[in-house]
A and B are shown apart, each in its own frame.
Chain A
Amino acid sequence: MKQNFYLQYVLLVVAQILICNFFHFTPYVTLSILPVLALCVPVKVSTPAGLMIAFATGLAVDFLAEGVVGINTFALVSVALVRRGLVRRIFGEELIVRGENFSVRRAGPLKVTFAIFLVQTLFMVLYIWADGASARPFSFNLWRVVASIAAGVLIGFPIADMLTPEDRR
Chain B
Amino acid sequence: MAAGKKIIPALVNAAIFILMEVAALSLLHNNGRVQNFFISKWMHSFMAKTWGAAENVRYYFSLSGMNEDLASENFALARQVDYYKSLTGAEAPSGLTEVGDYRYLPASIVKSSRNKQHNYLIINKGSEDGVTPRSGLVSSCGVVGIVDAVSKHYSYAISFMNTEFSVSARLGREGSVGPLVWDGKATDGAVLGQIPLQQKFAPGDTVYTSGYSSIFPSDIPIGVVGDSKVVNGATYEIKVRLLQDFGALRFITVVSNKGREEISSLENREDD
Contact = CB atoms under 8 A, between A and B. Distances in A.
Interface of A: 21-22, 24-28, 30, 47-48, 51-52, 54-55, 58, 62-64, 66-71, 73-74, 77-78, 81, 130-132, 135-136, 140
B120 interface: yes
B34 A69 contact: yes
B197 interface: no
B118 A131 contact: yes
B51 A27 contact: no
A48 B27 contact: no
B197 to A, nearest CB: 22
Contact of A77 (B9, B17, B43): B17
Interface of B: 9, 12-13, 16-17, 20-21, 23-29, 31, 34-35, 38-39, 43, 47, 51, 54, 111, 113-120, 163-164, 184-186
Contacts of B120: 66
A48 B24 contact: no
A70 B186 CA distance: 25
**What 4 A-B pairs come out closest when comparing CB atoms?**
A70-B27, A132-B163, A24-B115, A74-B24
Residue among B23, B115, B164 with max Cβ neighbours from chain A (10 Å): B115
B163 A135 contact: yes
A73 B20 contact: yes
A140 B185 CA distance: 8
B16 A70 contact: no
B21 A77 contact: yes
A21 B184 CA distance: 18
B163 A51 contact: no
B20 A70 contact: no
B51 A21 contact: yes
Residue among A28, A70, A78 with max Cβ neighbours from chain B (10 Å): A70
Given A22-B51, A70-B27, A136-B184, 11 more contacts: A21-B113, A24-B114, A27-B186, A30-B115, A47-B9, A47-B13, A48-B13, A51-B20, A70-B31, A81-B17, A132-B163
